[in-house]
Structure 1
Amino acid sequence: MKKNTLKFNCHLLILMLVFGISNVIFAQEKPLPKAKTGAFWEHVQFGGVFGLSTGNEFTDITVAPSAIYNFNDYFALGTGLQYSHLKQKNYYTSNVVGGSIIGLFNPIEEAQLSLEVEEIHVNSTYADLYNNVKKSFWNTGLYVGAGYHADNITIGARVNVLYDKNKDIYGSAFMPFIRAYF
């Protein structure tokens, strides 16, 4: 089952890359160049994630603001914060707090490559038959990603090259994403 999932995820990533490259080949219009000024804040973009999932006595709330600095049309560097609260009533509670540093490279306007280091602290409590089991640990991720970039939004996927299914909080090394900076 895991091989099929990994194979599907790889095919999805290849499909997204091919779609992005074919879109570049057939593009007719050239975008306007970005303003060239020395003001720091004119090169900063803000974005982030707010996620809310509920159902059947389960809650998942995520808040993750971020900002990037665009050095030029090709390179950007940024940082982000993350907080997540997950709860399955009478079984599981987890709080995740951390931060990340991300580097973005746009070799062409429609393609974006990313490298991100994430460090999060996880506090979890599980209920078993006799008592609660508490776990507290740090989790480090090194993500390599690629996506289709249009205007301020990128749709793509990333892979955690440090993923260890026995130690990682996430269920898979592969993660699709939608990234937006304004």
Structure 2
Amino acid sequence: MRQRLYISLFFSFCFLIVSGQETKVIETDADYQFQSEKNQSAQTESQRQSQTQSQTQSKKSYQYQPSWSFGGNIGLSFWNNGTDILIAPKAYYNVSPQFLAGFGLTYIYSSQEDDFAKYSQNSFGPSVMGAFRPVPFLQLSAEYEGLQTNGDSTIKVGDRDKNSYSYWNNALYLGASFVSRNVSFGVRYDVLYDSTRSVYSSAWSPVIGFYF
């Protein structure tokens, strides 16, 4: 009985030794190494694909989205007993980081009075514009503006003649401005300038704009 038990234990011990040796042989076998390298290569390729997909998604997430912004011009000046007020709200559609288009309304009030005469006038009308930014800090623009002007002028001496007038004026401005964050400042030139009808004293005029 004991002999059978010993024999059984002996064969069991031999079996365990052989199994251990076979396991070690499999781990160092060339086929095993090939399969291991193949698995590692597959894992590396999978990681590369995952990184490529994440980079592609990241690039898509940073694509420019067209959007609206708002701003315009505002001005107030006093000169020789005269007053000028400019209010010109605008809306801009940012087509790309370089191009934008917009439209707006312009209102200008002007008045002056001295010992001989006085006048006051109101000008209002629409405008449309397009702008290009070759670099982030420089803006080139073209803008059409049509203004209806109504005014009264009175001569104080003599018979105190009073004159009322009303007319429409077209202007086409070509301008260049420097842009710093949400503010732009520069000059523009009216290629349709008419000194007898324009509300401005010169074809050249400064322009200051803001965006938000």
TM-score norm. by structure 1 comes to 0.72
TM-score norm. by structure 2 comes to 0.63
More moved, 146-155 vs 94-103: 146-155
Partner of residue 13, structure 2: none
**Residue pairs, 1:27-42, within 5 angstroms:** 36=63, 38=65
Q: Percent of aligned positions with the same letter in both sequences? A: 38
Partner of residue 127, structure 1: 154
Tell me how far apart the structure 2 counterparts of residues 168 and 84 of structure 1 sit (CA, whole Å).
12
- Larger relative strand fraction: 1
Task: Give CA deviations for 1:76-101 in whole Å, capped at 9, x if unaligned.
Answer: 00011111222224610101111100
Tell me how far apart the structure 1 counterparts of residues 123 and 181 of structure 2 sit (CA, whole Å).
31
How far the C-alpha of 1:177 sits from its partner, in A, is 1.3
Q: Which amino acid in the other structure matches residue 84 of structure 2?
A: D
Aligned in 2, Cα 1:115/1:56: closer, same or farther, shift over 3 Å? closer
Partner of residue 57, structure 2: none
Tell me how far apart the structure 2 counterparts of residues 46 and 91 of structure 1 sit (CA, whole Å).
36
Tell me how far apart the structure 2 counterparts of residues 112 and 50 of structure 1 sit (CA, whole Å).
19
**Residue pairs, 1:24-173, within 5 angstroms:** 36=63, 38=65, 43-54=67-78, 57-89=81-113, 91-128=118-155, 129=157, 130=159, 131-173=161-203
How far the C-alpha of 1:56 sits from its partner, in A, is 6.1
Tell me how far apart the structure 2 counterparts of residues 98 and 136 of structure 1 sit (CA, whole Å).
13
- State the structure with more CA Rg: 2
Task: Give CA deviations for 1:37-79 in whole Å, capped at 9, x if unaligned.
Answer: 65x6xx1111123333346643322221111000001110001
SS state at 2:187 partner: strand
How far the C-alpha of 1:102 sits from its partner, in A, is 0.9
Aligned in 2, Cα 1:181/1:145: closer, same or farther, shift over 3 Å? same
Aligned in 2, Cα 1:169/1:61: closer, same or farther, shift over 3 Å? closer
How far the C-alpha of 1:149 sits from its partner, in A, is 1.7
Alignment RMSD (CA, Å): 1.9
More moved, 65-74 vs 158-167: 158-167
- Larger relative helix fraction: 2
SS state at 1:91 partner: strand
Aligned in 2, Cα 1:54/1:168: closer, same or farther, shift over 3 Å? closer
Partner of residue 6, structure 1: none
Task: List alignment gaps of at least 5 residues for structure 2.
Answer: 1-61
More moved, 164-173 vs 92-101: 164-173
Tell me how far apart the structure 2 counterparts of residues 181 and 126 of structure 1 sit (CA, whole Å).
37
Partner of residue 53, structure 2: none
CA contact (8 A) 2:187 2:204 kept: yes
